[in-house]
Amino acid sequence: MPLRVIQGTLVHAQSANQPLQILENNVIGVDKNKIIFVEPVECLSELSAQHGFELDEVHNINGCFLMPGFVDTHIHAPQYVYTGTAMGLPLLEWLDKYTFPVEAKFDDLKFATDAYHKVVHRTLKNGTTTASYFATIHKEASLKLAEIAAKFGQRAFIGKVNMDSNSPDFYVETTENSIQDTEWFIKQVQSMNNPLVTPIVTPRFAVSCTLELMKKLAELAEKYNLPIQTHLDENEGEIALVKELFPQFSSYANVYRACGLLTNRTVLAHCIYLDDDEIETLRSHGCGVSHCACSNFSLKSGVLDLRKLMTRDVKVSLGTDVSGGYTPSMLGSIRQSVIASNVQECQQRNGYRSVDFKEMFYLATLGGSKVLGLQNKIGNFEVGKDFDAILVNPEAANSPFDVFHSTYSDTIEDVVQKFLYLGKFASLNFGEKQAKTYNWYSCDLTDTNGEEKCVMSSCHQKCTFENVYDELHLCGNYSDIGIMPHFYQNTRLFMFKDGHLQLNFVAVLVFISAR
């Protein structure tokens, strides 16, 4: 697979303190999915001599910018089925009335397969190239989710959920089955041997797990060297119940700590009501927090003081928490997190500084990679990392905002900010009569044996969505356009000549790592 060189504007986070770096007129080189250089365009001739590529092979993304794929650190895949509905009840009632009855249906593998296809598609279409999923208690359906994420090239942590107490009769496991099924699930996912999917140990929350189960799950995480995810301090009723169930522990976090569930690869969702000791516990154990603002508002759980956690050096990130949160879009998470932080500033005053959109951009990309322990692989455009990116065309046809160039001129930072506040991703309707013509080029594939097939490379013919959809489908692994999943040994680059594709947002370039 040849070296890829892309020229244009790169937008990424360097660190928490430099959350939005804009590199105009840069060139990025990608070889076997790894970023091998990021340099100003002035170095192009030198780079071409050094790396042996021709200048006319450089892809110019004029007018667009590249940014890292979004990292959603907390999402319940089965709940996607009813996302956008069933809001308004507080957590415990919401779980009983809406969540458990739907999750219980995932013992039907056919239903699960359809639902999981849809959630993986939907999140990819929203620019989420990495997600940490809760599935359900069903091991086969959970494995199906892992297979679907792998098939469509999404990087994913997949958790078979564990629940052995305080759960409805129709949706509960014995402690023994819970452990056995989890170990089976871990082995199955590991035997897929796909670098994109990782099992994650997933006790639902302390309410629905016995101490025995939680301890055994911590042992499994250690035995197989796996990350862990659960919920913590989300809702006052939940916290009161945890106190009642586990009176021997001085805090909710201490229940998890005592069981060995707090590690530097543990992701804790919500964490709205942490006390000072709990904050210190999370910091000292290196745990990460997934801030789920949309869910916190929708279930009226509370408003997290995100700045406080950042100031105290707790790793933080953003999650959609579908479907406590109704939007599967990380752009939605960014927006609601900004509002939540502004609410904190309104209430606290006294020089409190809310977390701004640039910091949210960091949290939705590099911050998420750190919470998932993937900071050496993804999250920004550092040399050595995998190229995992989305391409944004702010001036695509039907863009939901306008960019100004003359008397009033937007800076690139303005354009990025407009995208974060107002942008949306493409939605394509295959099979409808609205087929458009467009030019496309550069779609290189290798087959599963690693042999280059080069289907449709550098083709400039006019085709319809349906043609391309069918062709991509025949090639094996695409079922969508606008998303460039990447699996096996493949490197895939699929770009549309600007303007011809009628997308609201052209987010057409996604590289995720190969084996």
| 99, interface contact from ligand GUN, Fe ion, none, CB < 5-8 Å by kind | ligand GUN
Query: Which stretches does DSSP call E strand in 209-305?
Result: 228-232, 266-270, 288-291
**Span between the terminal Cα atoms of the chain, in Å:** 14
CB of 231 to ligand GUN, least distance (A): 4
Applying CB under 6 A, which of residues 68, 319, 324, 485 lies at the interface with ligand GUN? Answer: 324
Residue nearest to ligand GUN (CB): 324
CB of 324 to ligand GUN, least distance (A): 3
- Are the CB atoms for 483 and 152 separated by under 8 Å? yes
CB of 366 to ligand GUN, least distance (A): 24
For residues 129 and 295, which CB has a smaller minimum distance to ligand GUN in the complex? 295
What amino acid occupies position 93? E
Q: State yes or no: residue 321 binds Fe ion (CB under 5 A).
A: yes
Q: How far apart are CA 249 and CA 261, in angstroms?
A: 14
For residues 319 and 423, which CB has a smaller minimum distance to ligand GUN in the complex? 319
For 505, list phi and psi in degrees, rounded to 5: -130, 130
Give the tokens for residue 325: 């949160």
| 151, interface contact from Fe ion, ligand GUN, none, CB < 5-8 Å by kind | none
Eight-state DSSP code of residue 160: -
| 95, interface contact from ligand GUN, Fe ion, none, CB < 5-8 Å by kind | ligand GUN
For residues 87 and 483, which CB has a smaller minimum distance to ligand GUN in the complex? 87
Applying CB under 6 A, which of residues 173, 234, 388, 444 lies at the interface with ligand GUN? Answer: 234
Q: How far apart are CA 382 and CA 471, in angstroms?
A: 34
Which residues touch 141 (CB under 8 Å, ≥6 apart)? Answer: 78, 106, 107, 109, 112, 113, 116, 135
CB of 301 to Fe ion, least distance (A): 10
Do β-strands 4-12 and 59-68 pair in parallel, antiparallel, or remain unpaired? Answer: parallel
Q: State yes or no: residue 444 binds Fe ion (CB under 5 A).
A: no
Residues 362-401 that bind ligand GUN (CB under 6 A): none
Applying CB under 6 A, which of residues 64, 75, 91, 364 lies at the interface with ligand GUN? Answer: 91
DSSP-derived 3-state class of residue 145 = helix
| 91, interface contact from Fe ion, ligand GUN, none, CB < 5-8 Å by kind | ligand GUN
CB of 82 to ligand GUN, least distance (A): 12
Residues 212-231 that bind ligand GUN (CB under 6 A): 231
Applying CB under 6 A, which of residues 95, 143, 221, 289 lies at the interface with ligand GUN? Answer: 95
CB of 233 to ligand GUN, least distance (A): 11
Q: How far apart are CA 362 and CA 479, in angstroms?
A: 30
CB of 72 to ligand GUN, least distance (A): 14
Binding segment for ligand GUN (CB under 6 A), chosen from 59-67, 91-99, 215-223, 256-264, is 91-99
Residues in the interface with Fe ion (CB under 5 A) total 2
Applying CB under 6 A, which of residues 4, 125, 155, 204 lies at the interface with ligand GUN? Answer: 204
Q: How far apart are CA 461 and CA 362, in angstroms?
A: 39
CB of 324 to Fe ion, least distance (A): 6
Quick note: the x/- pattern for Fe ion over 255-274, rule CB under 5 A, is --------------x-----
Eight-state DSSP code of residue 169: T
Using the CB atoms, write b or e for 247-268: b if 16+ within 10 Å: eebebbbbbbbbbbbbbebbbb
Q: State yes or no: residue 321 binds ligand GUN (CB under 6 A).
A: yes
Binding segment for Fe ion (CB under 5 A), chosen from 64-72, 315-323, 326-334, 504-512, is 315-323
For residues 230 and 393, which CB has a smaller minimum distance to Fe ion in the complex? 230
Helix axes 252-259, 211-223, angle to 10 degrees: 50
In sequence order, the β-bridge partners of residue 467 are none
Give the tokens for residue 512: 């995720």
For residues 325 and 482, which CB has a smaller minimum distance to Fe ion in the complex? 325
In sequence order, the β-bridge partners of residue 31 are 34
Q: How far apart are CA 182 and CA 213, in angstroms?
A: 11
Sign of CA dihedral 435, 439, 395, 20: positive
- Are the CB atoms for 395 and 403 separated by under 8 Å? yes
DSSP run (H or E) holding 71: strand 70-76
Applying CB under 6 A, which of residues 4, 12, 59, 76 lies at the interface with ligand GUN? Answer: 76
Helices and strands counted in the chain (H then E)? 17, 17
Q: How many CB atoms within 10 Å of residue 105? A: 17
| 370, interface contact from Fe ion, ligand GUN, none, CB < 5-8 Å by kind | none
CB of 269 to Fe ion, least distance (A): 5
Region at 275 (left for phi over 0; alpha for psi -120 to 50; beta for the rest): beta
CB of 134 to Fe ion, least distance (A): 6
DSSP-derived 3-state class of residue 403 = coil
- Tell me whether the omega of the peptide bond preceding residue 406 falls within 30 degrees of 0, making it cis: no
For residues 91 and 156, which CB has a smaller minimum distance to ligand GUN in the complex? 91
For residues 325 and 373, which CB has a smaller minimum distance to Fe ion in the complex? 325
Applying CB under 6 A, which of residues 70, 185, 205, 387 lies at the interface with ligand GUN? Answer: 205
Sign of CA dihedral 294, 152, 53, 50: positive
Residues in the interface with ligand GUN (CB under 6 A) total 11
Binding site for ligand GUN (CB under 6 A): 76, 91, 95, 99, 204-205, 231, 234, 295, 321, 324
Binding site for Fe ion (CB under 5 A): 269, 321
